Amino acid sequence: MRNSTLGKLRAYWLGCGVLTLSSFVKDFQYSKAHQTRVNSLAVGLQQAGAFAACFVVWPVADKLGRKKTLMISSAIFCIGAIIETVNTHSMAAFYVGRVVAGIGLGAASVVVPMFSSEMAPKELRGQIGSFFQLFYTFGMMSLPFPGSRLTVSGIFTSYWVDYAVLKCLPATAQQWQMPIGLQLVPAGLLGLGMFTLKESTRWLTKKGRHNEAWESLKWIRADESQATIDEMEEIRMGVEMEQRATEGLRPKELLERSNLTRLLTSAAVFTAQQATGATAFAYFGPQYFKLLVGGGSKDLLLTAIFGAIKVAACLFFVLFLSDRLNRRTVLIAGAAFMAACQITTAAVVKNKPAPGEGKVTSSGIATVALIYLFVVAYNLSWGPLPWPYVSEIFPTRIREIGIAIGVSSQWLFNFIFSLTTPYMITNLGWGTFLLWGLFDAVIAVLTFFFLKETRGLSLEEISHNDFGRIVDVKGVEEVEDLNVDGGRK
């Protein structure tokens, strides 16, 4: 939103702390023997709802527009959050709330990067797209553009709220209801805040509403100079070229080589984002830190510090690095560094396991430092960059489907790792760190060989070139006209 939205208003509240509160266990009446299963389902079911929403939302966004779709997403999420917050004493009802909230969340996570990429100037598209990661990391999500920011429950906020209610509130229902119920405030503000935004310029152009498209572009650029006029003309040209190329979208178009390459790239990038292990740490921070330092109340504190470091790293990236470095280079370096941190952590934990509660050892301090370095690397690379990268590689013709497929793979593997991580922690112990490290190493290698650069290119240039070659889009248009009128190339 992870520019953004409701757009990952999520399981972090649960995985990182709420499920570890004794008041939650007491009210929902499950035994310690079932704790791993509850942790797995309570986090994973929201991801399952988000995954399903990805396949439904793109035709809705195409028909109703980005703005209305985000309003609907906000409303659906609020319904799910209300079901979660009410103390029903029923895990079944709680699980239903998770799925409903996930549907709203998944829909928003598709539309937000779509809306941002279509409205952002190419010089700032990487920075604005990276705000998606920053604001859900911080617990604040901006609506798709600067000047329309809303607070949204997120990772950093959730860590400290969980820690605060553990220390300050008695073990009653309010202790777990407060952090979950707080999601309603920013989610509601999101839906209302969309009234302050105009519809996507490219979507309006695609629908033939050219006057509204021009007004939208003038508004978002706060300018109507010749540069803005030229940009509007480029957008129209790009949309017209896509519409002339194929009349009527057919499923087989997705299997065309250029489209299929982009679809596979989109799915692979978001799969890799989840396979880094960073999301698993965000959901199950206390459980991971228990492996490193032996448990106790310091697990939540270490997790809260973990969240603060995430925010600082992501903020630094957005402000200083997002549009200054090549996307591909940053992704390769980030994955390689994360691999080194995770594999080293696995080696230390294997040879010097954490002692009992209350004991601080040099090996424990070292592994905590390695995990903090790991999350810094993630938020300088694979945390923020997949969102702008995937949103900008598709032509207008299949952008809705392409982003939906990419984000659906993110939610699919988010769901898979959410279900399996509690069992990995229980059964593999130090091997969990080794597994994530090996994944990161593979990601670095595959990124080196297969990803192409997109920084500095307009959406039209990326659409009509093979990702990395800059060709004059107007020149392409003139060539097409000559082919049609005169049969000449």
pLDDT tens for residues 415-430? 888 888 888 988 898 9
- The better pLDDT of the pair 143, 383 is held by 383
Amino acid 32: pLDDT: 65
Cβ(34)–Cβ(63) under 8 Å? no
Amino acid 25: pLDDT: 72
Tell me: pLDDT of 326 over 50.
yes
The listed range with the strongest mean pLDDT (186-195, 199-208, 335-344) is 335-344
Q: Using alpha carbons only, give the angle 5, 10, 13 rounded to the nearest 5 degrees.
A: 130
* Structure tokens given for 101: 């909230």
* Model pLDDT for residues 203-231, shown as the tens digit of each residue: 999 999 999 999 999 999 988 899 999 99
Least confident piece of the model among 113-117, 124-128, 162-166, 416-420: 162-166
Tell me: pLDDT of 18 over 70.
no
* Residue whose token pair is 């500095």: 456
Amino acid 394: pLDDT: 84
Tell me: pLDDT of 166 over 80.
no
Least confident piece of the model among 70-74, 296-300, 317-321: 296-300
Q: Give the list of residues 6+ apart from residue 338 with CB closer than 8 angstroms, or none.
A: 276, 277, 278, 374, 377, 378, 382, 436, 437, 440
Between the CA of residue 184 and those of 36, 78, 192, 462, what are the distances in Å?
A: 27, 6, 12, 38
Least confident piece of the model among 49-53, 226-230, 322-326, 384-388: 322-326
Mean pLDDT (the chain, rounded):
78
- The better pLDDT of the pair 299, 199 is held by 199
Amino acid 161: pLDDT: 63
* Model pLDDT for residues 424-462, shown as the tens digit of each residue: 988 898 999 999 999 999 999 999 998 888 877 776 677
Tell me: pLDDT of 475 over 60.
no
pTM: 0.68
Number of Cβ atoms within 10 Å of the Cβ of 320? 11
Amino acid 296: pLDDT: 62
Cα four-point dihedral sign 134, 140, 141, 147:
negative
Distance, CA of 360 to CA of 440 (rounded, Å):
29
- The better pLDDT of the pair 457, 240 is held by 240
Walk me through the domains of the chain, giving residue ranges and CATH numbers. Answer: 12-207+255-456 (1.20.1250.20)
Distance, CA of 442 to CA of 460 (rounded, Å):
32
Tell me: pLDDT of 152 over 50.
no
The fraction of the chain above a pLDDT of 70, given in percent, is: 75
Tell me: pLDDT of 471 over 90.
no
Tell me: pLDDT of 480 over 60.
no
Q: Taking the CA of residue 114 as centre, how many other CA atoms within 13 Å lie in the half-sphere pointing to its CB?
A: 35
Cβ(344)–Cβ(436) under 8 Å? no
Cβ(463)–Cβ(238) under 8 Å? yes
Tell me the average pLDDT across 229-240.
89
The listed range with the strongest mean pLDDT (141-150, 157-166, 179-188, 368-377) is 368-377
Amino acid 282: pLDDT: 79
Amino acid 155: pLDDT: 53
- The better pLDDT of the pair 3, 449 is held by 449
The fraction of the chain above a pLDDT of 90, given in percent, is: 28
Least confident piece of the model among 124-128, 129-133, 275-279: 129-133
Tell me: pLDDT of 157 over 90.
no
Least confident piece of the model among 61-75, 265-279, 301-315, 450-464: 450-464
Tell me the average pLDDT across 168-183.
69
Burial of 196 (0-12, 13-18, 19+ CB in 10 A): exposed
Amino acid 4: pLDDT: 37
- The better pLDDT of the pair 12, 194 is held by 194
Tell me the average pLDDT across 134-149.
41
Amino acid 477: pLDDT: 42
* Structure tokens given for 28: 């929902």
